[in-house]
Structure 1
Amino acid sequence: MTAPVTEAVRRRVTVRGTVQGVGFRPFVHRLATDLALAGFVSNTASGVLIEVEGPPDGVARFCDRLATQPPPLAAVIGVGVEDLPVTGADDAFTIRSTDRSPGRTLLPPDTAACDDCLRELADPADRRHRHPFVTCTHCGPRFTIATGMPYDRAVTTMTGFPMCPACAREYGDPGDRRFHAQPVACPDCGPRLRLVPAAGSGVRPARDADAPAVARALLTAGRIVAVKGLGGYHLACDAMNARAVDTLRARKERGGKPFAVMCADLDAVRRVAVPSSAELAALTSPRRPIVLLRRRAGQNPLAPGICPGSPHLGVMLPYTPLHTLLFGLPGDPPGPRVLVMTSGNRSGEPIVTDDEEALTRLAGLADAWLAHDRPIASPCDDSLLRVRPDGTEQVLRRSRGYVPRPLRLPVAVRPALAVGGDLKNALCVGEGDQAWFGPHIGDMGELTTLAAARRAESQMRRLTGVSPELVAADRHPGYHSARWARRRAAQLTGRTPVFVQHHHAHIASAMAEHSLVGTTPVIGVAFDGTGYGDDGTVWGGEILLADYAGFRRFARLTPAPLPGGDAGVANPCRLALARLWAAGVRWDPDLPCVTACPPEELTLLERQLARGVACVATSSMGRLFDAVSSLAGVCHRARYEAQAALELEAAAASAWDADGSAYTFGIAAGAFDPAPVLSALVADLRRGTPAPVLAARFHRGVARAVTEFCLRARQDVGLGTVALSGGVFANALLEEECARLLGGAGFTVLRHGEVPPNDGGLALGQLVVAAHERQEE
């Protein structure tokens, strides 16, 4: 008896998401071939288009595996299936050329070199042995080389490197892992390395395979080398050479701000830090971020100047083949196993990407430049994160490895550009249910940074296809970003920007990250250093009742004068004295903050406070942390942003398990007053209580005050969700204690993950608030 013939089916499948530049078409080809299906696959401007024909069960398995078993770097966000008439095709499944019709697809971030490529790099028998640009569809640069979309070699910075016959064969072979890998190259046809010595350095120039070895020798000798990475230059030196570290710190005028380090491997990581299993997973992920780790105590081989005053160490692993060559392959002369890898720039400037610019802007900082001739289309600094005790991640700087991965929005938005704030600037574009952050830009006080912001905005619009119909910015009238937003709004839309209150944007950012639709308000705890308030004062210790449409200020930290405005932030001792003055606590000479100020400074400050000269009122929690840091004798003069608060957190961490008590804020309707905290802290100082205990009691006191006001808000208006946002919640101790107490009180607690809690996440909140405001018009 003859078996019945199964009717064939034909389906058109459209796949949206990060599906170009990640080996998706060869994956589809292999899958269809394995299932004996006919049809084709093609890239389009909107993603990937597939037509597939064959037995119903084979076609069903094909569609299921598209979404559930994609290539490692792919991120499928939507699969559409449409039935088509059967054509009777029985030919082989094919890969068609890219369809350039209008639409939008998603570009993957840059990722670390994969194990297969690193094996080829180290294999003397492989034709890519020691090739510093070895890559495939599973790894390497994407965002930083793309100049347009859809993603093809012609719209990358690899267009100037014609493929040799061997690379062209791999590129055109669907069975090869380099099929349509746009950065594919080899020593015969790829970019070239060169080592350029500084004038008068006595260093010999080198090219190609010799360049990493010469650079390694320079690092071993204590010299500083500017190394061109995926998204810009780093300044590198031996992290165990105290003189080299101190020289780099002095040349870069970095003050006491910690350096990040790159370790050759996990053994080197364990020599300098104590990573958890979750932290190791973050370190070794394809994103390769900088991860904040607990520094190993005792005989730590790192130079003391790496991270003075901090128990944490920013650590990353090599993520390019060039980094691997810089540390050396087996059999190479030994070199440093831990390198300082700090952004290649001068203080306050954006990261350098252009080779000729690097030779001028980094002159005087570097003794040599390890460069190459593959241009960088988009600057992209290293990302930074910490791992919480529960294994979740909190991104503090979202850049390489994340950008331009989209975020799904809980509310649809019109095409929009949000420019963020002036500190830790990162812009954001959005349309429909998606938003895209640009890379970390930095602080907007320099012309070079504003130019970098303009380039980033142009590149993000080009890569995402978003044509903004509205522009959003911070409400602060003096922000450089807000002035730039006015100009861009006039050029792009012919309208004024939507100006969003700073702390409202922080809370909206947390809501959007957690996919809240915003119809029910949340209790928003917005703690940071500086934000322009609706009353013209400096806010930063706010408890808001907020949704996307608006907010109401439910409570705040009791204000105190901020002598000297933003310029006074560098002097925590003055902030402490201002807080004591506001609390009615005398400036007795036994207090550390009084001792830290010379008599003439005390006299001038007293007059300034009494007369209100150059003083603005602030409710900033960040400034209170600075003040307590000085009052407790931890930090009186800050040489970099948030130094006083970071050192106060470090002190508290060292006594956290030894003392469980807490200071108590004065609680009144609409305000929590630190005066009782300051009085109790002064009393403890006079009893000889150690500074770490004072710091721990302060942290716990803040968390308890937060919980008390959230309980009051729930009682008053019935809200049960709390969002924690603002730069103060980069403080791990405070965030964990707030989450513990609030969770124990039955609240749902929203904490930032992939979106930074600091101003690096501000643009997302601006985007959703502004889009809602314009929809309501």
Structure 2
Amino acid sequence: MTRRRLRVHVSGAVQGVGFRPFVFALAQRYALSGFVCNDARGVLAELEGDTHRAFLWALRSEHPPLARIDRVDVTSLPALGSTGFAIRASLAAGAATSRAIPDAATCSACLADLFDPASRFYHYPFVTCTDCGPRFTITRRQPYDRANTAMADFAFCGQCAADYADPGNRRFHAETLACPDCGPQFSHTVQEIAAILRVGGIVALKGIGGFHLLCDATNETAVARLRLRKRRPARPFAIMLASDGASRPFASPTAAERDLLNRSARPIVIVRKGTGLAPSVCPRLRTVGVMLPSAPVHHLIFHALERNGADGTCALVVTSANLAGDPLVIAGAAAAQDLSPIADLVVTHNRPILIRADDSVMAVIAGEPAFVRRARGYVPDPIDLGEDGPTVIALGAHLKATVCVTHGREAFVSQHVGDLDSAQTRRFHHETVQRLLAELGIRPECVACDLHPDYGSTVVAQTLDLPVLRVQHHAAHLAAVAAEHRLHGPLVGLALDGHGHGSDGMAWGGELLIRTGGIWHRHGHLRPLPLPGGDRAAREPWRMGMAAMVAMGRGAEAERRFSRHPLAAPLTRTMTADGPVTTSMGRLFDAAAALLGVCEDQSYDGQAAMELEALVDRTQIQPGGYHIIDGMLDFTPLLGTLLQPGIDAQTGAGLFHGTVIAGLAEWIGAVALAQGQTRVVLGGGCFMNRVLAEGLALALRRRGLEPWLPRLAPANDGGIALGQAAIARAHLMQSNRS
């Protein structure tokens, strides 16, 4: 056969995954000469020989497990008569288009080394190889070489240098490679950590994307102490188990949930709660967030606990180490100052965390995975939008903020940033904006933000020296779902959440929208309820319970029912038709929870709705529980039913969910029929309620409709940036065509 030389350019997530060693091994297998290196676009190889077809097939079909190939460009070159094959130094010229890859949990081979007394990595809490370990959180810049990571200051010892240079070793060109002789070290031993946990203490532990707080999840005193010190009175904690086999008795994951738990991203997965956990882990809920070890140190801690008296079924609370409202702590100096009042032991290490990333949180809803929070393990994987488009940046909402940048056909959604109430979180948001733009080497054509004038993200948008497009909150929720599923053309959409600034300046949150010509129009909404106290009503559900009773003409009864609240009487008497109102489904849930006595004051977002959902054993439909008049869906009759004598909280919760599902399905069905549409997109934070999401999706399918739920971005405000970006892209594309 004729000897040829080809230049092969591979783009995608191909740096930091062992791709160069993989190409090296393939070249050896197929007797090809040449070289391979990283460059700004990805991985570049030149290969000379006569077996290129077999090489290219193997390149696409056998690539390393963490790699994601977007495209392979092949160019013919004159043969040089070269011999041998080498891995060359990276080429850094040009704008960076290669992307970092997510952090990955310890692989089975490294786990075997961790517990093999004959291995030099025995009990070393930073063991890693080309198939596992931190990537995104330790990367300073592309291309992904050791000098551009947090490992830059750790020079190889002789043995690590030999492994790094050995084509037959799985740590061949593993940039995170280190051992006890040359690598990072923890400030305390695993035995010291385990000793504190065994006696009910709290440990602050530096991990991959930030610090965690740990304690014994079966020790009520320890968990209650953690709640008190962290000022987190009721929000559920997640737990970590040694393996999915150790879930009993603490949790009952389904097969689909077990699959999620064991993915290399190691997300927190919301599953059915079992027995044996301290009551304060997730009070008044039937579910618990479960995660498996994501780093070698976690495996070592469980091993130490089990060797010292535990029966192999220990569970640990593992929660983000941050002060209320602030971002995750990542620096050792900050940890000593901020976490010492919370933790009995602060454990740090000397490998820097360059990018903070919370744990991802997921649930299986309607049979498929869905994000509650998208962060470590999944970021910075892009979302494929299906077609090329303008480059834009979107800054998200004010709560659960994320940032999104589109480039070509891809949308890069940042890790969870948080609520933009504190200066520290706003600084983190700014850093995230700058990092995304720098990594992609782009200048956007415009910046998209929320319609609300006072959101922190809206304020930032005005500072970027770009044209600003302000996007209505609920249109963004629905656009995010349409974008990830690549749904084009006319659509019917239902957005259900707690709050969003409407185009009329009012508080929306239960909106039926229709997309025509790329623009979302409000077609209908829930019947407005008074919003006593404005934003305070979101924190104090008793206000919404009282508002519902006033709307039913039962103000005097409302004063008596909520008399323990000093403001109940004056608020009841001052609620007028001219006061603030809301169409929010989230506030409707709050009203129901308050009327049923489930939750009158909440300490975290969504508490009332979550506790109401937790009571549902089965749903029921209240006849006459809703009315649909002139495009408005009115659940006032249902709220009246919840006040009837003999309706206990559990019965009421089932009636509420069942009737809401029935009313929404009828409402949507009529509009979809009138519009000649079958596709319905469902978005907004209320769709994290599994009973509502699954019940409504089923009801719509029974009507011959196609419901589309959020999957790749959170249903809550964490997905808003994606929707803003999608609308901005569509706006620019339309403008360019005109």
Instruction: Give the drift of 1:134.
Output: 0.6
Residues 468-507 of structure 1: pairs in structure 2 closer than 5 A: 468-487=444-463, 489-490=464-465, 493=466, 495=467, 497-507=468-478
Q: Counterpart of 1:26?
A: 21
- Is residue 44 from structure 1 mapped to residue 39 from structure 2 by the alignment? yes
Q: Counterpart of 2:104?
A: 111
Q: Counterpart of 2:502?
A: 533
Q: Is the 8 A contact 1:22 1:137 kept in 2?
A: yes
Separation in 1, partners of 2:474, 2:585: 12
Separation in 2, partners of 1:640, 1:229: 25
Instruction: Give the drift of 1:705.
Output: 2.2
Amino acid at match of 1:310: L
Separation in 1, partners of 2:638, 2:660: 10
Give the total of aligned pairs: 732
Q: Is the 8 A contact 1:548 1:768 kept in 2?
A: no
Separation in 2, partners of 1:82, 1:409: 27
Separation in 1, partners of 2:30, 2:300: 42
Q: 2:90 aligns with which of 80, 98, 118?
A: 98
Separation in 1, partners of 2:245, 2:679: 43
Instruction: Give the drift of 1:697.
Output: 2.0
Q: Is the 8 A contact 2:391 2:444 kept in 1?
A: yes
Q: Counterpart of 2:153?
A: 160
Q: Deviations over 1:540-571 (max 9, x none)?
A: 00010026832111110011111111112122
Separation in 2, partners of 1:32, 1:575: 68
Q: 1:594 to 1:79 in 2, by over 3 A?
A: farther
Separation in 2, partners of 1:270, 1:77: 41
Q: 2:590 aligns with which of 626, 629, 646?
A: 626
Instruction: Give the drift of 1:660.
Output: 6.1
Separation in 1, partners of 2:207, 2:10: 32
Q: 1:334 to 1:547 in 2, by over 3 A?
A: farther
Task: Specify every segment of 5 or more residues in structure 1 that has no aligned partner in the other structure, as ranges.
Answer: 1-5, 196-210
Q: Judge which range, 132-141 or 265-274, deviates more.
A: 265-274
Separation in 1, partners of 2:198, 2:445: 54
- Is residue 410 from structure 1 mapped to residue 402 from structure 2 by the alignment? no
Q: Deviations over 1:106-165 (max 9, x none)?
A: 211001011111111111111111111111110000010001111111111111111112
Separation in 2, partners of 1:643, 1:750: 26
Q: Counterpart of 2:234?
A: 256
Separation in 1, partners of 2:425, 2:728: 24
Separation in 2, partners of 1:709, 1:428: 33
Instruction: Give the drift of 1:775.
Output: 3.7
- Is residue 365 from structure 1 mapped to residue 358 from structure 2 by the alignment? no
Instruction: Give the drift of 1:311.
Output: 0.1
Q: Counterpart of 2:292?
A: 317
Instruction: Give the drift of 1:469.
Output: 3.2
- Is residue 655 from structure 1 mapped to residue 629 from structure 2 by the alignment? no
Q: Is the 8 A contact 1:630 1:636 kept in 2?
A: yes
Residues 565-714 of structure 1: pairs in structure 2 closer than 5 A: 565-585=534-554, 587-588=556-557, 594-598=560-564, 600-610=566-576, 615-652=579-616, 654-656=617-619, 659=620, 664-682=625-643, 685-686=644-645, 688-714=646-672
Separation in 1, partners of 2:641, 2:458: 41
Q: 2:260 aligns with which of 279, 282, 286?
A: 282
Q: Deviations over 1:707-757 (max 9, x none)?
A: 222222223221221000000000011100111111122222211112101
Separation in 1, partners of 2:352, 2:639: 55
- Is residue 549 from structure 1 mapped to residue 518 from structure 2 by the alignment? yes
Separation in 1, partners of 2:391, 2:570: 52
Q: 2:421 aligns with which of 416, 441, 445?
A: 445
Q: Counterpart of 2:370?
A: 394
Amino acid at match of 1:288: R
Q: 1:663 to 1:142 in 2, by over 3 A?
A: farther
Q: Counterpart of 1:765?
A: 723
Q: 1:260 to 1:663 in 2, by over 3 A?
A: farther
Instruction: Give the drift of 1:478.
Output: 1.3
Separation in 1, partners of 2:113, 2:430: 39
Residues 61-76 of structure 1: pairs in structure 2 closer than 5 A: 61-76=54-69
Q: Counterpart of 1:343?
A: 320
Q: Counterpart of 1:510?
A: 481
Amino acid at match of 1:763: A
Q: Is the 8 A contact 1:663 1:701 kept in 2?
A: no
Separation in 1, partners of 2:236, 2:348: 25
Task: Specify every segment of 5 or more residues in structure 2 that has no aligned partner in the other structure, as ranges.
Answer: none
Instruction: Give the drift of 1:465.
Output: 2.5
Q: 1:113 to 1:334 in 2, by over 3 A?
A: farther
Amino acid at match of 2:686: V
Instruction: Give the drift of 1:388.
Output: 2.9
Separation in 2, partners of 1:461, 1:8: 43
Separation in 2, partners of 1:412, 1:420: 22
Normalising by the residue count of structure 2, what TM-score does the alignment of the two structures yield?
A: 0.96
Say which SS state the counterpart of residue 78 (structure 1) adopts: strand
Instruction: Give the drift of 1:369.
Output: 0.6
Q: 1:356 to 1:38 in 2, by over 3 A?
A: same
Q: Is the 8 A contact 2:38 2:144 kept in 1?
A: no
Q: Is the 8 A contact 1:555 1:709 kept in 2?
A: no
Separation in 1, partners of 2:726, 2:17: 30
Separation in 2, partners of 1:577, 1:331: 52
Q: Counterpart of 2:270?
A: 292
Separation in 2, partners of 1:8, 1:751: 53
Q: Counterpart of 2:198?
A: 220
Q: CA RMSD in A?
A: 1.9
Separation in 1, partners of 2:304, 2:639: 57
Separation in 1, partners of 2:439, 2:149: 11
Q: Is the 8 A contact 1:429 1:466 kept in 2?
A: no
Amino acid at match of 2:226: L
Q: Is the 8 A contact 1:238 1:338 kept in 2?
A: yes
Say which SS state the counterpart of residue 342 (structure 1) adopts: strand
Say which SS state the counterpart of residue 412 (structure 1) adopts: strand
Say which SS state the counterpart of residue 302 (structure 1) adopts: coil
Q: Judge which range, 323-332 or 271-280, deviates more.
A: 323-332
Separation in 2, partners of 1:638, 1:521: 39
Say which SS state the counterpart of residue 291 (structure 1) adopts: strand
Residues 160-309 of structure 1: pairs in structure 2 closer than 5 A: 160-195=153-188, 211-296=189-274, 300-309=275-284
Separation in 2, partners of 1:7, 1:617: 77
- Is residue 7 from structure 1 mapped to residue 17 from structure 2 by the alignment? no
Residues 125-144 of structure 1: pairs in structure 2 closer than 5 A: 125-144=118-137
Instruction: Give the drift of 1:330.
Output: 9.3
Separation in 2, partners of 1:71, 1:716: 50
Q: Is the 8 A contact 1:215 1:326 kept in 2?
A: yes
Q: Judge which range, 346-355 or 427-436, deviates more.
A: 427-436
Separation in 2, partners of 1:596, 1:465: 57
Q: 1:547 to 1:440 in 2, by over 3 A?
A: farther
Separation in 1, partners of 2:640, 2:621: 19
Instruction: Give the drift of 1:223.
Output: 0.9
Amino acid at match of 2:317: V
Q: Deviations over 1:478-532 (max 9, x none)?
A: 1112112212x23xx3x4x21111011111100111122x3x1211111000000
Q: Counterpart of 1:741?
A: 699
Instruction: Give the drift of 1:294.
Output: 0.2
Q: Deviations over 1:178-212 (max 9, x none)?
A: 122211111111112113xxxxxxxxxxxxxxx21
Q: Deviations over 1:263-298 (max 9, x none)?
A: 1223332220011111111111100000001011xx
